[in-house]
Chains A and B, each alone.
Chain A
Amino acid sequence: MINAKNSERNLQKSIPVRQAGRLGEGLEVALLLLPALLLLLVFTVWPTLNAFWLSFHRENLLGTERDWVGLSNYAEMLRDPAFWRAVGATFLFAAIVVPVQLVLGLLAALMVARPFPGVALFRTLFFLTTAVPTAVAAVAWGWYLHPIGGTLNRWLEAVGLPAQPWLTSPELALPTLAIVTAWAGVGFTAILLTAGLQQIPEDLYEAARMDGAGAWTQFWRITLPMLSPTLFLVALLTVLTSLTAFGQIHLLTRGGPMESTTVWIYRIYQDAFFNFRFSYAAAQSVALFLVLLLLAALQFRGLGRRVHYE
């Protein structure tokens, strides 16, 4: 099909009416993309612009009237200790989620990248966590992590260890949520990394083996460098998703105890839909947007240079 289409295009290029052909094709492409573009415009672009606009205003109780206040929402945000606590919690959260998810995902991918009897079963098992909706997973984790008589604590006590207040202590709640988040994401990470591993040519390993390289050396000298483009992409995705994790926090801790799990995005949610401070929440989401943009740019520039491309 694709080849036929290409040759058709080549044909068109060689004949003089190609301008008209291109225009027709452009129109066709535009028409095909239109529904997707419209959705993007209505549900992503417009709300984003609206958030920018809103962040420069202050509104009355019902949000039916607005006054232009310039940058005062941003100034307030920078002075607000609650905002900075949320920022701190967010980065601590990401600092746990990203390495845990990447290492576990890589381990899982290494296990199932090469075919062996029953590999499909293992691949399915690893991917299963991704198929569980956040809400369902959160309810199940709520049971496992119940402070008194939860499954996890019963296991701990069975082996003589003290029960832990997983979600009810401000020290443990955020790391616990981070692990739950990493658990949910590890399947998707594993799938992407498996695909990356399968792209690495087998003859590289053969050559290495002939040169007497052990498994460890092969991993460091071949697997990791060759996998780095995929790893980089996955790392970026994980950072971005961990900075915007919401469902599991909302369902398991609601930002508590003592605001220890009130991450940036949860602060925004509370300020907007709970405290009815939409314009202030808009300023915080614009700031988060800029940070995510900056992170993506930095990672592409910095990490991008060190990534090994074939």
Chain B
Amino acid sequence: MLRLWLILAGIALGGLGLAQQRITIDFWHSMGGVLGEATEALVKDFNAAQNRVTVRSQFVGSYDDGLNKLRAALQAGGQGRPNVIQVYDIGARFMADSGAVLPLEDLARANNFDLSQFVPQPRNYYTVDGKLYGLAFNSSNPILYFNAQALEQAGIPYRNTWSLADLEAAARKLTIKDAAGKTTRYGLSIPIDSWFMEQFSYNSGQYFCNNENGRKARATEVTFNNPAAVAFLDTWARLVREGVAANTGRNWADSQSLFAQGQAAIAVYSTASLTGVLRQVGNRFPVRTAFYPYLRERNGTAIGGAAVYLIRGFSDEQNAASWEFIRFLLRPETQAKWIIGTGYFPVVKGVTELPSVRQAYVRQPNYTTAVRQLETSKVNTASAGCLMGGFTEIRQIVQSAIEEALRGKPAQQALDEAKQRADQVLARYNASVRQ
């Protein structure tokens, strides 16, 4: 017992000694499960790789939980706020408007980091009013998932590019109904999520909010009633009513279990879902992935996921330590480890040429879909993604509109009505920023 205490005391003292030399910075993230393990592994690697900085990582729950904790810390005069925090994609406008963020671009310039090393889409996404604010940490995009066995049996050749019309035809062909007309296998399953409407707009070259997705100037109106989004929702709703597409509600897991059990032949999820879906499917059937669909001409998807931001109000020494951590995250070897472990894609150039990444992609070619989709996407304000405040609330409104359309309300009408409500939310947000 005494020996145990001596050891513990030794560790504590040793820890103290180290802490005096090392600068400790706090990193809040929202990665749970497999992704959480991969994140903790990166932190551990960083702490072991050098002896100047110790990153203390903390899982703070969902992205919304993390933002709420940040708000609470800032309200308490900044007590306990983190040096680095991970915030979801649609929080970009909010983070820039909050005034709480030390823009990444300022640090990068001060440290002579060449910003052109970034892959353009992630960089564009987190660039607000001409300045890069956050580092795209975990970047994903939406892709199509196919039950390859069903595809083969139906005589549909696999392709990696699908227009909406082609997808609809395939879904119809893959649907199996019994004598009573009840669907026994659905052709398509899409979780009710605004993200898929957003991405379909971008991939068809349309904007989700005005002023070119809020990239030319602050967005003041939503434009999710654009022709592409209306066509997408109209097709989706028609297929649900005809028993071709399944309606499993808002919960992604409920759609994934359907796909994994072979009860839906095509599904639409994020590339970040890939590891989970493959695990769930197991040996039931081979899975193939493909690019996200588009209306007439493929433009390119925007990135999803989250970025890490540096919070203001720390000493230069602390900020330098945070920058050292960011630099570590940007190293190609770190990126390689991260993407192989998670299914996200790299945010700096040259990572996909690394041997370890190449081998991983050969072993599991489905993981290349996201990267190829990114590489072949046009770089413009549509694929930069919509930048606006109040996005979480607006997503709720879009999801209600999807649900209305699936029940029979014309897609155009549902989205027009939702736009009225969403514009109010956006106006209120913009007013709260200017005050």
Contacts and interface: CB of A to CB of B under 8 A. Distances in A.
Interface in B181-212: 186, 192
A61 B258 contact: no
Given A257-B403, A258-B404, A275-B390, A147 B97 contact: no
A257 B249 CA distance: 7
Contacts of B399: 256
Interface stretch (B16-24, B67-75, B150-158, B378-386): B67-75
Contact of A274 (B257, B392, B400, B403): B392
B246 interface: yes
B263 A62 contact: no
A40 to B, nearest CB: 21
Given A148-B258, A274-B64, A61 B396 contact: no
- State the main secondary structure of chain B at its contact with A: helix
B427 to A, nearest CB: 14
Given A170-B407, A257-B250, A64 B393 contact: no
B252 to A, nearest CB: 12
Contacts of A61: 94, 97-98, 432-433
Q: Size class of A's contact patch?
A: 20 to 34
Interface string A53-77: 0000000111110010000000000
Interface string A235-276: 000000000000000000111111100000000001001111
Contacts of B254: 142, 146-147
A16 B173 CA distance: 98
Contacts of B407: 169-170, 258
Contact of A146 (B98, B257, B425): B257
A149 interface: yes
A46 B261 CA distance: 51
Contacts of B257: 146
B75 A63 contact: yes
Given A170-B407, A273-B68, A147 B249 contact: yes
Contacts of B64: 273-274
B315 interface: no
- Looking at A142, A169, A275, the one whose CB has the most chain B CB atoms below 10 A away is A275
B108 interface: no
Interface in B82-118: 94, 97-100
B50 interface: no
A48 interface: no
Which of A62, A147, A165, A256: most chain B CB closer than 10 A? A62
Nearest to A275: B393
Contacts of B74: 62-64
A256 B246 contact: no
A299 B75 CA distance: 40
B79 interface: no
B247 A147 contact: yes
B364 interface: no
What class of interface size applies to chain B in its complex with A? 35 or more
B248 interface: yes
B389 to A, nearest CB: 8
B247 A168 contact: yes
Contact of A148 (B100, B248, B250, B400): B248
A167 interface: yes
Contact of B261 (A147, A149, A274): A149
Contacts of B283: none
A255 B397 CA distance: 11
Contacts of A258: 400, 403-404, 407
A62 B75 contact: yes
A42 to B, nearest CB: 15
B433 A254 contact: no
B8 to A, nearest CB: 30
A74 B298 CA distance: 48
Contacts of A253: 249-250
A254 B403 CA distance: 13
Contacts of A165: 247
Interface in A100-156: 142, 146-149
A147 B191 CA distance: 13
B392 A256 contact: no
A213 B100 CA distance: 76
Contacts of B248: 146-148, 168
A170 B409 CA distance: 14
Q: Which 4 residue pairs across A and B have the least CB separation, nearest first? A: A168-B249, A257-B403, A275-B393, A258-B403
Given A149-B258, A256-B400, A274-B64, 4 more contacts: A61-B432, A146-B248, A149-B263, A170-B403
Interface of A: 60-64, 67, 142, 146-149, 165, 167-170, 253-259, 270, 273-276
18 contacts: A61-B98, A62-B75, A62-B99, A142-B251, A142-B254, A147-B247, A147-B249, A148-B246, A168-B249, A253-B250, A256-B250, A256-B400, A257-B403, A270-B393, A270-B396, A273-B64, A275-B392, A276-B71
